[in-house]
Structure 1
Amino acid sequence: MILYTPLSELDIFPISETDYTKLRSISYKGKNIYVENISDGNYKIIQLISTDPSDFLNENYSPGTLISYQDSNDI
């Protein structure tokens, strides 16, 4: 089935509540991002929230990028 819609995939097929508890909105290096908790201190970037188009060209904020941190001030 092909669905032609301007809606996001998550709007049509929402994630389960157990998967939703893994997501978290954080500020990373001054940018707001949604991340998924992979393990203790390791996160996978899900989505960048920004109004600056140049932020989306920065590979550090690409969806799927793994980030880790040692200090809570870094995130």
Structure 2
Amino acid sequence: MMFALFCSLGSCPVSFFNSPRFSLTLLSIPWVIPALALLFLVTKIYVYMFPILLNITSCWNYYMHGGNCT
């Protein structure tokens, strides 16, 4: 997507796409690091939020059946 953005601005040479460096760049820092960071973040949020959501739903069920939930 980033490459497409640069190319739409007219700042990338066509020969760049045919070079072996392009495929190497595709697999290195600009793509992999943010993707892994995002995956890690989503997993971390899910792991932290799951018990909280579970607690809220079980608490709500308890409250709906006449219990006092604190």
* TM range, smaller chain: under 0.3
Judging by fraction of residues, say which structure has more strand: 1
Say which structure, 1 or 2, has more relative contact order (CA 8 Å, 6+ apart): 1
TM-score (norm 2): 0.21
Please state which structure has a larger fraction of its residues in helix.
2
